[in-house]
Amino acid sequence: MREFSYDVVTIGGGPAGMAAALAAREAGAERVLILERDRELGGILQQCIHNGFGLRRFEEELTGPGYAHRYIDMVKATDIDVWLDTTVLAAEPGGVITSVSPHAGLTVVKAKSVVYAMGCRERTRGAIRTPGSRPAGVFTAGAAQRMVNMEGYLPGKEVVIVGSGDIGLIMARRMTFEGAKVKAVFEIMPYSNGLTRNIVQCLEDFDIPLYLGHSVTAIHGKDRVTGITVSQVNDRLEVIDGTAFDVACDCVLLSVGLIPENELGRAAGVALDSITSGARVDQFRETSLPGFFAAGNVLHVHDLVDWVSEEAAIAGRSAARHARGELAASGQERSVMAGEGLRTVVPQRLSPFEPGRMSVRFYFRASKPMGASLLQFWADGVLAFERKLRVVKPSEMIVADIPVRKIGDAMTLEFRVVAAPEKIDAEDEIEEEA
């Protein structure tokens, strides 16, 4: 068993792992390592061959592999070590990481700081309890995406998409390009869970119908899928009798949500947020386990990779500081809460501010769609800050910078989204606060 020492190790070589490693190296960590289980860096981006990545980060529209390769090239230009085809079995307190690979065998790495960057996994049919038979032809959208885009095989030719998550929407367009017939997308909620641009570009542009408030109540077929039964649901998501209809298809793609892949953290005792399913972190992205940071979709599911890169860089910089002993965990922590109108907020707590800090960036998900709204920041029960939002959607992350001077000495920070008293112009929406 071989043993190694590093300052910062990122577990995962997708966009979060690479951004964290680069930021750690730039922030002065000398020995940085990326552990990646796949044969190449890039993570799930490698199978996302559609465009639309990087508008924010590079001000250019890139494909997934295109975006990934910007980062891969940056990593290659440094002395960051990359171990591919390497799976981490355990990452334990004290920074002891045990991994295996076919070429290096079982290896132990001692890291001063660890960044979790394992991404997320897709919710399955079992998790949403779709009744019916269990034939071939039911895939998560991501698994199908890998087969179509990386291996060149198709999961079916008459496709139905269940759930309106972004991967499902992208796959609706992709399967159409490949010559398959995409019959419909069925979404149980009264609103879509995908980005507006994907609804437009992947469904509307191809006349693929989107049925909101519909649930798949059975999957049929013995060997291969032959069809599904769908019903309308009421506002409690219960099936409305008499609304059932059948759709013939040979393939069902599920796009019903993503779950942070936190099994390593859970095993190590990291405190998780029951709503995001990611670690509870502070503004440094440090988890409850000192020296362990979280970045990317393992922390909370992002809709844009650009945010992943940006947020992961925070974790990487913090990891470098921790490795140097500059990120002492001391002083009282403040709690951050998602109040009315919001489902999640990251970070969930604040550690004492470092010198020179001007603002803290928070990431939110709304609990329901709303029109013109106000994002409110309440410090110890006092309204301290407001920002206008033209429109609010659970599928689109809200990002806001709160000035440190507004936070002051408040111990309890609460955010809310409330209906705006008047209509808000588009200009107000992009107004940057800091």
Q: Cα separation of 360 and 283, whole Å?
A: 7
Which tokens belong to 191? 């609103």
Does residue 116 bind other proteins (CB under 8 A)? no
Check residue 121 for interaction with other proteins (CB under 8 A): yes
Min dist CB 93 to other proteins, Å, is 17
Which residues have CB under 8 Å from 140's CB, separation 6+?
122, 123, 124, 253, 254, 255
> 353: Cβ–Cβ under 8 A, 6 or more apart, which residues?
283, 404
By CB under 8 A, tell whether 421 contacts other proteins: no
Pairwise CA distance, residues 151 & 75, whole Å: 26
Give the torsion sign (CA, 296, 299, 301, 307).
negative
110 binding other proteins? (CB under 8 A): no
Question: Residue 167 CB, nearest distance to other proteins (Å)?
Answer: 11
Which of these ranges, 98-106, 344-352, 380-388, 390-398, lies near other proteins under the rule CB under 8 A?
Answer: 98-106
The 26-55 contact track toward other proteins, x by CB under 8 A, reads -----------x------------------
Q: Are 313 and 74 in contact (CB under 8 A)?
A: no
Q: How near is the Cβ of 191 to other proteins at its closest, in Å?
A: 22
Please, are residues 397 and 343 in contact by the beta-carbon 8 Å criterion? Answer: no
3-state secondary structure of 200: helix
Instruction: Give residues 243-262 in contact with other proteins (rule: CB under 8 A).
Output: 250, 261
Print the binding letters for residues 56-95 with other proteins: x by CB under 8 A, - otherwise: -----------------------------x-x-x------
**Identified binder of other proteins from the candidate list 143, 247, 337, 418, rule CB under 8 A:** 143
x/- map, 266-305, other proteins, by CB under 8 A? x---------------------------------------
Cα separation, 134 vs 405, in Å, equals 57
* DSSP string of 13-72, one letter each residue: -SHHHHHHHHHHHHTT-SSEEEE-SSSSSSGGGGG--SEEE-TTTTSS-EEHHHHHHHHH
> Is residue 165 close enough to count as binding other proteins by CB under 8 A?
no
For other proteins, which residue of 17, 137, 165, 347 counts as binding (CB under 8 A)? 137
Which residue lies nearer to other proteins by CB, 106 or 399?
106
